[in-house]
Amino acid sequence: MIDNAPPQYGERLPGYGQPAASDFEYGAKLTEMILLGCLAERAGVGKKVEWDAKNLKVTNLDALKTPGVADLVKPKYPAGYRLD
């Protein structure tokens, strides 16, 4: 365990006691769901966004025919800039 840490700190570490209320596993899925809702709203009323969660991409971009939807998921950066 970690010396001089509050007792509840060790209880929240993976494999020790119960998970923290701000569990990253839960938070990551919730964030993805909310952002997907924003993406669907941008796609337009009546258009279905098909999402591949494993590869983090929209699989029906051609069917959506909505400019800019692909750029919301993986934006095009200006020359000289990149995100690795």
Q: What is the structure's pLDDT at 78? A: 87
**Predicted local confidence at residue 5, as pLDDT:** 59
Q: 28-52: per-residue pLDDT in tens?
A: 888 989 988 988 888 888 888 888 8
Percent helix, strand and coil across the chain, each rounded to 5? Answer: 40, 5, 55
Each of the 84 residues of the chain gets a pLDDT tens digit; together they read 556 656 666 565 666 666 666 777 788 888 989 988 988 888 888 888 888 888 888 888 777 677 677 777 777 788 998 877
Q: Which residues contact 17 (CB under 8 A, 6 or more apart)?
A: 10, 11
**Residue that has been written with the tokens 């919301």 in this structure:** 72
E-state strands within 1-84: 51-52, 57-58
In this structure, what token pair is assigned to residue 19?
Answer: 């998970």
- Convert 51-68 into a string of H (helix), E (strand) and C (coil): EECCCCEECCHHHHCCCC
